[in-house]
Amino acid sequence: MLTFSYAGLRYLFITLFAFIYVASPHISWAQSAYPNKPIKLIAPFPPGGTSDVLARLIAMKLSEGLGQPITVDNRAGASGNIGHETAAKSAPDGYTLLLSNSSTVVNNPFMFKKLSFDPIDDFSAIALVASAGQVLVVHPSVPVTTLAEVTAYAKANPGILNFGSGGKGIQSHISGEMYKSAVGVNIVHIPYKGTIQAVTDVLGGQIQMVFSDMVPAMPHIKSGKLRAIAVTSVQRSVALPDVPTMIESGVLGFESGVWWSIVAPKGTPIEIINRINLELGKIMQLNDVRETLGNLGVAPLHSTPNKVAETIRSESPLMGKILKAAGVEAE
């Protein structure tokens, strides 16, 4: 029968504890310590647009759940590429997050001959968080009230109508190209650094129309400064229940929208990914979040990390076909 003195047992426990600590220094300890300093959430588009509004709402709620300040860093430009490149090159420590979007990670590989990041391989996905359709708006000076009238006017005046977008490859651009291809009209694309800038120029009469996110367009639709023609979702928007869909307006099969996800630089510890995913799931179930997003025409989502890459892979071939049919080539 083995017997141990008090000193011997004490030595045994200390040795065992030291072994466990050395063998796994970065697992449970790193998990319990995160986060212990402020976090940055990169929004790859200018202030005021849907991505910015969504980023600030998520940052506020996620800060409450994680117990650390979260600042939104707007890195606009190159159709979202600049913000994505910045995030991809950041340290994978959980203190830099990115509000990614389908326009950049699904559309841009077909729009740009060379990207400085890989939409899947350079990021650790966390969760899908939201989706939304768009609304086609025109300046009131354009003598149209329905999509059929827009089409007729464009055919009678080829090359006269300009449509703005948030940048080459952004969904507002894709929606315009899809419309051109579907009905056979010649309208000229004018890219901006963000959809909100395109909306501003429609308000000023510099361009005539834009497929806009709901957020920058809604106040001007309600004030009568912009005329809503149709929404690009399959169902009518809760935020604009009186505005018909593109399908209802005669363009069969037309569906266009954008989704957003939260991702981190590749190599971010799985414990941190899971922690943030859990918090995002709670956030997207909050009544005030769902009401706020609903009023903006945005639907809250939550998914597993793997679902983000799966969605990119499933949508990319479809986008390639759409752009090829529309005659859009990478530059």
- Residue 323: pLDDT over 90: no
For the cut 70, the answer to whether the pLDDT of residue 236 exceeds it is: yes
Name 24's Cβ contacts closer than 8 Å, sequence gap at least 6.
none
What is the C-alpha separation between 227 and 176, in angstroms, rounded? 17
Report if residue 164 sits inside a domain: yes
How confident is the prediction for the chain on average, in pLDDT? 90
Question: Which pLDDT tens digit goes with each residue over 176-212?
Answer: 999 999 999 999 999 998 899 999 999 999 999 999 9
Asked if 85 contacts 98 with a C-beta cutoff of 8 angstroms, the reply is no
Question: Are both 45 and 128 inside the same structural domain?
Answer: yes
Model confidence at 170, in pLDDT bands (50, 70, 90)?
confident
Domain of 189: which CATH number?
Answer: 3.40.190.10
Closest CA to 198 of 233, 170, 178: 170
Q: What is the pLDDT, as a whole number, of residue 168?
A: 87
Alpha helices by DSSP H, listed for 184-269, are 195-203, 214-223
Let me know if residue 282 belongs to a domain: yes
What average pLDDT score do residues 46-55 get?
A: 92
| Total number of domains in the chain | 2
Given the structure tokens 């998914």, which residue do they identify?
303
Residue 195, C-beta contacts closer than 8 angstroms, at least 6 positions apart: 45, 49, 50, 164, 165, 166, 170, 172, 210, 212, 213, 216
Expressed as residue numbers, the domain containing 201 is 133-231
For 168, other C-beta atoms within 10 Å of its C-beta total 19
Is 102 a domain residue?
Answer: yes
Q: Is the dihedral of CA 273, 108, 171, 226 positive or negative?
A: positive
Inside any domain, residue 9:
no
- Taking the CA of residue 3 as centre, how many other CA atoms within 13 Å lie in the half-sphere pointing to its CB? 1
Q: Determine, yes or no, domain membership for 119.
A: yes
96 within domain boundaries: yes
Eight-class DSSP state of 39: E
Which pLDDT score, from 0 to 100, does residue 1 have? 41
pLDDT number for residue 85 = 98
Cα separation, 107 vs 321, in Å, equals 11
Q: Please tell me whether residues 227 and 141 are part of one structural domain.
A: yes
Is it the case that residue 28 has pLDDT exceeding 60?
no
pLDDT band, residue 19 (cuts 50/70/90): very low
Is the pLDDT reported for residue 122 higher than 80? Answer: yes
In angstroms, the CA 233 to CA 298 distance is 11
Give a yes or no: residue 244 inside a domain: no
Same domain for 181 and 149?
yes
User: pTM of whole model > 0.85?
Assistant: no
Residue 39 and residue 128 in one domain: yes
| End position of a domain, from candidates 231, 266, 299 | 231
Predicted confidence (pLDDT) at residue 24 exceeds the cutoff of 90: no
Q: Based on the domain organization, do 123 and 35 belong to the same domain?
A: yes
Residues 180 and 314 in one domain: no
In a domain, 236, yes or no: no
Q: Is a pLDDT exceeding 60 seen at residue 23?
A: no
Rg (CA), the chain: 24
Per-residue pLDDT tens over the stretch 266-295: 999 999 999 999 999 999 999 999 999 998
Report the pLDDT averaged over residues 124-153.
97
Q: Which CATH number is 290's domain given?
A: 3.40.190.150
Q: Summarize the confidence of residues 286-308 as an average pLDDT.
A: 95
- For the chain, the residue count is 331
Nearest to 130 by CA among 277, 296, 313, 260: 260
Amino acid sitting at position 57: L
Supply the pLDDT for residue 29. Answer: 38
Q: What is the pLDDT of residue 303?
A: 98
Q: How far is CA 240 from CA 143, 148, 231, 232, in A?
A: 21, 19, 8, 12
Residues 121 and 178 in one domain: no
Of 174, 198, 212, 210, which is closest to residue 327 (Cα–Cα)? Answer: 174
66 plus 92 within the same structural domain: yes
Mean of the pLDDT values across residues 124-150?
97
Query: Do 121 and 142 fall within a single domain?
Result: no
d(Cα 142, Cα 318) in Å, to the nearest integer? 33
Q: Is 147 left (phi over 0), alpha (psi -120 to 50) or beta?
A: alpha
What is the distance between the alpha carbons of residues 258 and 312, in angstroms, rounded to a whole number?
12
Sequence-ordered list of residues with C-beta below 8 angstroms from that of 102, at least 6 positions apart, any chain: 171, 258, 259, 260, 311, 312, 315
Whether residue 191 is found in the same domain as residue 281: no
Task: Look at residue 165 and tell me whether its pLDDT is greater than 90.
Answer: yes
Same domain, 72 and 158: no
Average pLDDT over residues 166-170: 87
Domain-terminating residue out of 231, 248, 282:
231
Whether residue 102 sits in one domain with residue 116: yes
- 6 vs 48, more confident: 48
Confidence band, pLDDT 50/70/90 cuts, at residue 32: low
